[in-house]
Amino acid sequence: MKFSEFLFLVRSDLYRHAGKVGWRPFFYCLVYLPVVMLPGFKYSFFLRLCAYFRSIRLLRYTLYPLFRLLLYHYECKYGIRIAVTTRIGSGLYIGNYSGIFVNTNVVIGKNFNISMGVGIGEATRGPRKGAAVIGDNVYIGPGARIVGKVDIGSNVAIGANCVVTKDVPENAVVVGVPGKVISFNGSGDYIQNTDY
């Protein structure tokens, strides 16, 4: 990963959380966020930082272990477990924290919103063996579960406590157990600050 790519990812995540970029909102979100708001940006920043350090050979053996330990601290503190090797596009937004798990083999597009209690796992057998591929501008509501190799299209909204085990077309709104498409209104009302 190039340093310019790392900066772009951090700036896009910051813009999704704060609605602006710069040193002042960055410092505010990184230092004061746990007190005033939710700590989603702080976690995403250290996640991106660890991914960047891991991608550079010299830093992989020097700074990466230290910052990976710090990320582990925030994983325990906030209840978020997203693997450093997970491929996530720009504009990650963690709206709520606690009980979030994302498998390392999941592929996530840009402008992804994830809520508390969401689990995105990998199936180890059966016809859906593998992990999910999630498109751009996807909102996943609290308590939702995505299991196995499913393709989630772009602009999809997945409702609270929904269990997704089948492919979801673009612009769909999915609710229930098992998840069923109830409309094609998409995630437009849930995804904000994407003009970074």
**Residue type present at position 142:** P
Count of residues making up the chain: 196
Alpha helices for the chain (secondary structure H): 3-18, 23-27, 33-36, 40-55, 57-60, 63-78
- Rounded Cα distance between 187 and 196, Å, is 18
Domain boundaries, the chain: 1-82, 99-190
Q: With 0-12 CB in 10 A as exposed, 13-18 as middle and 19+ as buried, what is 95?
A: middle
Model-level pTM? 0.92
* C-alpha torsion 196→53→113→100, nearest 10: -160
Residue 2's CB is within 10 A of a number of other CB atoms, namely 10
- Rounded Cα distance between 190 and 142, Å, is 13
State the pLDDT at residue 38: 65
DSSP 168: B
Per-residue confidence of the chain (196 residues) as pLDDT tens digits?
Answer: 899 999 999 999 999 998 999 998 898 888 775 554 568 899 999 999 999 999 999 999 999 999 999 999 999 999 999 999 999 999 999 988 889 999 999 999 999 999 999 999 999 998 999 999 999 999 999 999 999 999 999 999 999 999 999 999 999 999 999 999 999 999 988 999 999 8
DSSP 29: I
> Which CATH number fits the domain 99-190, given the four candidates 2.160.10.10, 3.40.50.720, 1.10.3430.10, 2.40.37.10?
2.160.10.10
